[in-house]
């Protein structure tokens, strides 16, 4: 049946990813025809027609046995260590599934996942980071980097919230902290979102972007498209891998530089990992508001990391330049973490008053965690004049 469907798709010039409706109708017609023929022939009868249609669609127009996990809204991530060990993450907790892939099936699925991304994986480029048609993020590593089997991670784009108010409803952040962050974004403060893997950094950054005034022009730079900025004037850019000749690579650092030539009102970087941190700091230091995410265990460690990553840009970059630049460029650090039950929460909001002494940047706690709840601390953010210019009464906001 699969072969018949694939042949009909080829003859009619359909694309399962861009023409899902006609492909679904085609599969139903083929299954119905098979069911009729099974009544007057030796073909085995079909018990559950809907189940067969779904299975055929998954194999022909989807991603086989993994498709049901991609369709499950509760599943956040899927990873395959080997054909017989397929894991999923549900509500922040991992579990081993009963799915067992056939020999060679995983390689075929990866090839189909990469088809629309324009990216490749082979012995010369054993790693790939790409976006799937549904917006999920795919990462693959092949042998001999891995021991025997290719390792596949699919991080689904599950945007549980689109605004800070929705994060309040989910219990991720308190209402006073959300109002403060909304005012900070509207006032043009530079904000760094820190946290561990799958802590909800990108979701929080998306919600912060929703608080950007509609009149602004936002440029986003990412390794793979993940941000969804709900504004009328947005340009999104992602990195590009080198071609077969090793040329044509567009790293994140290049995107940050190009973004400055595009008349941005605000720049948003999905995640800083390496020397692109220097270019972002230079942009923020020039008066351009911006936001980004960073892997770190706490807000203080995020500040320290912001001071070390720019040093990767070259030997001529020293701490004497980087530390005061970070102190004057980063205004707030919002740290998110995952509880033992898998729930994501904002753990602390730290302000950088702009002062540094003996290579250590001064910080002030604006909100901190006490007894598992985010509460007001005694610190204040910098640039009270920007809050006032944007129409916010900062003392009342933090009262």
Q: What is the DSSP string of 122-170?
A: SSS--EEEEE-TTS-EEEEE-TTTSSSS-EEEEE------SSHHHHHHH
Q: Each residue of 113-172: pLDDT tens digit?
A: 888 787 888 888 898 888 887 778 899 999 989 988 999 999 887 667 889 999 999 999
Distance CA 55, CA 59 (A): 6
Backbone phi, psi, residue 18, to 5°: -95, -20
Average pLDDT, the chain: 88
pTM exceeds 0.85 for this model = no
Q: Is the alpha carbon torsion for 87, 92, 93, 97 positive or negative?
A: negative
Q: To 5 degrees, how large is the angle CA 238–CA 242–CA 245?
A: 160
* CATH 3.30.450.90 domain position(s) in the chain: 74-154
Judged by DSSP in three states, 180 sits in: helix
* CATH 3.40.50.300 domain position(s) in the chain: 164-398
CA torsion 96→98→101→107, rounded to 10°? -30
CATH number given to 164-398: 3.40.50.300
We find that the CATH architecture of domain 74-154 is 2-Layer Sandwich (3.30)
Lowest mean pLDDT among 2-6, 106-110, 255-259, 338-342: 2-6
Distance CA 280, CA 227 (A): 17
116 vs 392 pLDDT, higher one = 392
Distance CA 390, CA 392 (A): 6
Q: How many CB atoms lie within 10 A of CB 10?
A: 9
**Residue 49: pLDDT over 70:** no
Longest Cα separation, the chain: 87
Residue 334's H or E segment, with its range, is: strand 332-338
For tokens 């991530």, name the residue: 77
Q: Each residue of 286-297: pLDDT tens digit?
A: 889 999 999 999
Q: Each residue of 189-235: pLDDT tens digit?
A: 999 999 998 888 999 999 999 999 999 999 999 988 888 898 999 99
* Alpha-carbon distances of 309 from 52, 152, 189, 302, rounded to whole Å: 52, 28, 21, 10
Q: Which two tokens stand for residue 301?
A: 């460690």
Burial of 14 (0-12, 13-18, 19+ CB in 10 A): middle
Residue 350's H or E segment, with its range, is: strand 344-351
């Amino acid at each position: 049946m699969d072969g018949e469907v694939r042949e009909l798709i080829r003859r009619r010039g359909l694309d399962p990813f861009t023409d899902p409706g006609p492909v679904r109708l085609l599969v139903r017609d083929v299954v119905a025809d098979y069911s009729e023929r099974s009544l007057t022939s030796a073909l085995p009868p079909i018990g559950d027609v809907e189940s067969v249609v779904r299975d055929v669609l998954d194999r022909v127009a989807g991603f086989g046995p993994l498709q049901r996990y991609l369709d499950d809204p509760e599943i956040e991530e899927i990873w395959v260590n080997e054909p017989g060990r397929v894991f999923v993450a549900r509500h922040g907790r991992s579990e081993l599934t009963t799915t067992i892939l056939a020999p060679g099936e995983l390689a075929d699925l990866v090839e189909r996942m990469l088809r629309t991304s324009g990216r490749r994986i082979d012995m010369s480029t054993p790693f790939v980071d790409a976006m799937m048609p549904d917006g999920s993020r795919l990462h693959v590593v092949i042998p001999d980097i891995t021991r025997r089997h290719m390792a596949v991670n699919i991080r689904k784009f599950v945007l549980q919230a689109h605004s800070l108010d929705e994060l309040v409803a989910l219990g991720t952040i308190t209402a006073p902290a959300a109002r403060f962050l909304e005012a900070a974004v509207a006032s043009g403060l530079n904000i760094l979102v820190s946290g561990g893997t799958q802590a909800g950094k990108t979701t929080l950054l998306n919600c912060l972007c929703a608080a950007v005034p509609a009149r602004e022009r936002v440029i986003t730079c990412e390794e793979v498209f993940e941000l969804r900025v709900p504004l009328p004037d947005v340009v999104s850019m992602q990195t590009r891998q080198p071609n077969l000749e090793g040329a044509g690579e567009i790293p994140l650092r290049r995107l940050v530089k190009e973004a400055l030539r595009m008349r941005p009102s605000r720049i948003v970087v999905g995640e800083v990992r390496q020397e692109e941190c220097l270019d972002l700091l230079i942009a923020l230091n020039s008066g351009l508001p911006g936001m980004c995410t960073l892997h770190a265990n706490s807000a203080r460690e995020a500040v320290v990391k912001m001071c070390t990553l720019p040093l990767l840009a070259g030997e001529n970059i020293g701490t004497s330049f980087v530390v005061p630049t970070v102190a004057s460029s980063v205004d707030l650090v919002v740290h998110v973490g995952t509880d033992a039950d898998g729930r994501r929460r904002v753990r602390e909001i730290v302000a950088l008053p702009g002062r540094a002494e003996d290579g250590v940047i001064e910080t002030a706690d604006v909100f901190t965690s006490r007894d598992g709840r985010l509460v007001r601390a005694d610190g204040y953010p910098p640039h009270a004049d920007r809050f006032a210019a944007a129409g916010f009464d900062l003392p009342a906001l933090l009262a």
